[in-house]
Structure 1
């Protein structure tokens, strides 16, 4: 059984902080034990980095994956009553004041997606969801699912796109440590000269992560040109980066590793459409890139605000999970 110890005076601030750190790690482990993650559809073809090992998730963390056919969720979203759609529009409209400028039928389509997901979460007692967000929401409902998942993330019900179960589990872990929202991002740019990178996603970030000096805007998907997504730069501050990484140990055998990193999100204009933030890592950007490439890391990383690297290390020790340092 994993354990730790402490030899110190009870009034030593460092001792108190160590106990608090261990308690946060223990709380995160308890959060995962018994967690139920909804899987809506399957990951898109070619996106094998979103694959997961249901048996290991259950045995190692106590996480259960609860599948739901995508066609059922699409039908439920299409059948949502107008009043429920308007309630969603009113809620998100308090954050994004330009919704009237967007195609109204598509905006209300995203509202239907949120309501259908929220109903599924409540009915199945889910702790988070991973959703096949494309192409069917665009082709069948003529709207984006991103804006629905943004509000779920803001409600601290972690929601990942591309049916990324491991991404949702990682976000749930970070959320349990920080008691604040977490969400998945892509590392889309690195600049060796400024030792910085850009973390981005199409528009499912929680409102609480928005830079308060910049307006939140409703927008359209960069590829499909349909609403509803939310566009804003991430607020400045310390962030923790993590990823539950599927690692091939020997041919035909896989295990999980916990990728842990950190950095400082700096105030900067939007780098791309959707949600983006410029981050200065705790290691040179080229070293971060080298770790990503040499270990074949997934394209999704989860982030939350605050520094929880020590807690993640203790969590990994508790469950016997190898750690891979990103920074």
Structure 2
């Protein structure tokens, strides 16, 4: 689904340059459409309050998730206020480089108001076909789409509720309320038994059919037959609760009781575009959801790699990340190399070396009490040797190369309190994640 952006031109009959407004609207719409954005343009240029309110009403019923306002001339800031208050969407303010219009001064004026009101925004300066301006508008449109999805997402926390409290909430802890307020996501409390009870009703024949269907993205199985059948049943149980509650993300309880229970199901479902986080990491799961949404429509894997730092080597400039393994096998260079290993009594781990990728985006979110920050980095993955994989315990393994020394990156992570879960996504989405964070007013630690 293409991001849908509203587009409107503001103009004053008392200022110079207003005769360009129709041309600016048409040219900007064309350039954004050619860039892959579904544009809903205002039915008229906005000269007064009546025009502004009419366009607001039009946009409210259009399904737009972001807005671009082009200043053809200087005009009253009270008109922009109407769009801010009525729509409340991620907005791009577009200034044109015609000197007689004072368009950039108008954008600067309104941005000073937005700063005072602590309202996030983006702006550009250029003509409708200016490549940098169009690219920025595309980022805002995509960010608006992601933020809309995020605000409407249902995230299941699967595991025991917190029946204790310290001057705060009980069934839900304060941190959950704070997270929901900041990111808009709805947290749904479920128990692991909701999955396992359904799984227990699945027949062995049904499970074998699942295994046959998913064999092409499973790899070599070293887990015992009973565990493999149970994983297939858990896969169906997880899909059932996703359908029942209309979930977008599943965050599962892990060890000691359920270690590895969801790992193989998470790998299979990751290839199908569903985020299943297997270690109770809600923030990490939401970052995966953001990255997957950012990549929607691109020719990259549906899933995101979850890993932890194993070691790093400044001399050879690489970081080694590993994990017990729950990542989609689309990230393996060769499906025949993937190994599904036994983990505990009835769990699994999905083990492979991540394929070489020229560009990946690396993120990690941390924070509390409404104050959050996101590490956002660009890197590439390089092929790991068999010896390196052996040394890491033959688990999920990703060898990354950043543009900075690994020790400097780790210094930043530790000194800034970044969590140990790193999310790795094929493709370059760092700029888009930055814009999403800007609108959410989440600080970023950029590693370029």
Report the TM range for the smaller structure's normalisation: 0.7 to 0.9
- Structure 1 residue 80 corresponds to structure 2 residue 202: yes
Is the 8 Å Cα contact of residues 356 and 381 (structure 2) preserved in structure 1?
A: yes
Structure 1 residue corresponding to 2:279, chosen from 162, 171, 185: 162
Is the 8 Å Cα contact of residues 382 and 399 (structure 2) preserved in structure 1?
A: yes
Change (3 A) 1:3 1:255: closer
Change (3 A) 1:261 1:163: same
- Structure 1 residue 263 corresponds to structure 2 residue 263: no
Q: Using structure 1 for the length normalisation, give the TM-score.
A: 0.86
Is the 8 Å Cα contact of residues 258 and 324 (structure 1) preserved in structure 2?
A: yes
**Residue matched to 1:291:** 412
Counterpart Cα distance in 2 of 1:182 and 1:42: 26
- Deviation, 1:182, is 1.6
**Residue matched to 1:48:** none
- Structure 1 residue 176 corresponds to structure 2 residue 298: no
Counterpart Cα distance in 1 of 2:325 and 2:340: 8
Counterpart Cα distance in 1 of 2:178 and 2:403: 31
Q: 1:75-224 counterparts in 2 under 5 A?
A: 75-99=197-221, 102-137=223-258, 144-179=261-296, 180-212=302-334, 215-221=336-342, 224=344
Is the 8 Å Cα contact of residues 365 and 418 (structure 2) preserved in structure 1?
A: no
**Residue matched to 1:34:** 152
Is the 8 Å Cα contact of residues 150 and 204 (structure 1) preserved in structure 2?
A: yes
Is the partner of 1:298 in helix, strand or coil?
coil
Is the partner of 1:152 in helix, strand or coil?
helix
Counterpart Cα distance in 1 of 2:145 and 2:376: 18
Is the 8 Å Cα contact of residues 332 and 338 (structure 2) preserved in structure 1?
A: no
- Deviation, 1:226, is 5.5
Counterpart Cα distance in 1 of 2:346 and 2:202: 19
- Deviation, 1:73, is 2.6
Which structure ranks higher in relative contact order (CA pairs < 8 Å, sequence separation ≥ 6)? 1
- Deviation, 1:42, is 4.9
Counterpart Cα distance in 2 of 1:231 and 1:62: 34
Change (3 A) 1:281 1:57: same
Counterpart Cα distance in 2 of 1:83 and 1:283: 52
Counterpart Cα distance in 2 of 1:136 and 1:167: 21
- Deviation, 1:170, is 0.7
Is the 8 Å Cα contact of residues 42 and 163 (structure 1) preserved in structure 2?
A: no
Is the partner of 2:217 in helix, strand or coil?
coil
Is the partner of 1:137 in helix, strand or coil?
coil
Counterpart Cα distance in 2 of 1:90 and 1:166: 34
Q: Using structure 2 for the length normalisation, give the TM-score.
A: 0.64
- Structure 1 residue 56 corresponds to structure 2 residue 178: yes
Structure 2: segments with no counterpart, 5+ residues: 1-118, 162-172, 297-301
Counterpart Cα distance in 2 of 1:246 and 1:326: 18
Counterpart Cα distance in 2 of 1:71 and 1:54: 22
- Deviation, 1:218, is 3.3
- Structure 1 residue 279 corresponds to structure 2 residue 400: yes
Counterpart Cα distance in 1 of 2:191 and 2:219: 34
Is the 8 Å Cα contact of residues 40 and 130 (structure 1) preserved in structure 2?
A: yes
C-alpha root-mean-square deviation of aligned residues, in Å? 2.3
**Residue matched to 1:24:** 142
* Structure 1 runs of 4+ with >6 Å offset: none
Is the 8 Å Cα contact of residues 54 and 64 (structure 1) preserved in structure 2?
A: no
- Deviation, 1:195, is 1.7
